Amino acid sequence: MLRSAYAGSQMRTVVLHTQLKTQLVDVTAEVREVLDGQTGQAAVIFVPHTTAGIVLQASGADASGVAGDIETALEQLVDEAWSWQHTAEGDRNPWAHVRSVLTGSSVTIPLENGQLALGDLQTIFLCEFDGPRERKIYVSVT
């Protein structure tokens, strides 16, 4: 997975390439990297895509299967084989739009001494529902 980060003025952008149709990608390290040197009260992490989302969830040695379980659950909760109304409009991925609604497009995380105030197991995940493709994540400090 190719990842790169670009610095803007106040807002920072993380660019990455997903590998699967449905995939949770840990972007915590990339968010921390673009926040380096920033000061403020909170970081807002936003995904400017209608078929992707952003969530905080458990990860690490004690929770290594959580991302895969979430991927499977979202695929089962929102079935691609359903009769979708907006496929008649030419949309090829209506399930991806619905899955993104379940995850949301942004999270706000408090900063403590310039660092993300995440819990011990909390991880920031980009949720891909229409991959593989290039995705952007915008990070700003308030």
CATH code at position 61: 2.60.120.460
3-state SS record for 125-138: EEEECCCCCEEEEE
Residue pLDDT, tens place only, 22-49 = 999 999 999 999 999 888 999 999 999 9
87: confidence class by pLDDT, cuts 50, 70, 90: confident
Q: What is the pLDDT of residue 8?
A: 44
80: confidence class by pLDDT, cuts 50, 70, 90: confident
Give me the mean pLDDT over the 117-128 stretch: 95
Residue 23's identity, in one-letter code, is Q
84: confidence class by pLDDT, cuts 50, 70, 90: confident
Q: What is the pLDDT of residue 20?
A: 96
Distance, CA of 38 to CA of 54 (rounded, Å): 21
Q: What is the pLDDT of residue 3?
A: 52
On the question of pLDDT at 4 being above 70, the answer is no
User: Average model confidence (pLDDT) for the chain?
Assistant: 90
Distance, CA of 40 to CA of 130 (rounded, Å): 34
Alpha helix stretches (DSSP H) within 36-136: 66-77, 94-103
Give me the mean pLDDT over the 54-77 stretch: 87
Distance, CA of 80 to CA of 68 (rounded, Å): 18
Tokens of 125: 């995940």
Q: Which domain holds residue 64?
A: 3-141
pTM: 0.89
Q: How many domains does the chain have?
A: 1
2: confidence class by pLDDT, cuts 50, 70, 90: very low
